[in-house]
Amino acid sequence: MTKAVRYPAEWEDQKATWLAFPHNEQNWYGERGVKIRKFYIDLIRTISDFQPVNLLVPSKKFLTDAEMEMLQSPGFPVTLLNIKTDDIWIRDYGPFFVKQGKRTIVSETQFNAWGAKFPPWKNDNQIPARIMKATGYGKGASVPFIFEGGAIEVNGDGLGITTLDCLVGKNRNKPEDMSKIIKAICEMLGLKSLLILPHGLNGDHTDGHIDNVARFIAKDKVVIAWDKGMKSKNAQVLSEAKYLIETWLKAFYAKNAVVETLPLPPQRKLSDGQILPASYMNFIFVNGGLIYPKYKCKNDAVAQKFFEKAFPDRIVIGIDSRTVIEEGGSLHCMSKHESR
Tens of pLDDT, residues 132-183: 999 999 999 999 999 999 999 999 999 999 999 999 988 999 999 999 999 9
Q: What average pLDDT does range 308-333 have in this prediction? A: 97
Integer-rounded Cα radius of gyration of the chain: 19
Please report, for residues 103, 177, 184, 246, 292, the alpha-carbon distance to residue 174 in angstroms, rounded to integers and kept in the order given. Answer: 34, 5, 14, 29, 35
Backbone angles phi, psi at 182, to 5 degrees: -60, -45
242-273: per-residue pLDDT in tens?
999 999 999 999 999 999 999 999 988 876 77
pLDDT value of residue 1: 41
Whole-number pLDDT of residue 25:
77
> What whole-number distance in Å separates Cα of residue 22 and Cα of residue 195?
33
Query: Average pLDDT, whole number, for the chain?
Result: 95
Distance CA 185, CA 149 (A): 11
SS3 content of the chain, % helix, strand, coil (to 5): 35, 30, 40
Asked if residue 275 lies in contact with residue 267, where contact means CB atoms within 8 angstroms, the answer is yes
In sequence order, which residues have a C-beta less than 8 Å from that of residue 242 and are 6 or more positions away?
224, 226, 259, 261
**Could you give all domains of the chain from N- to C-terminal order, each with its CATH number?**
5-339 (3.75.10.10)
pTM of the model: 0.96
Cis peptide before 198 (omega within 30 of 0): no
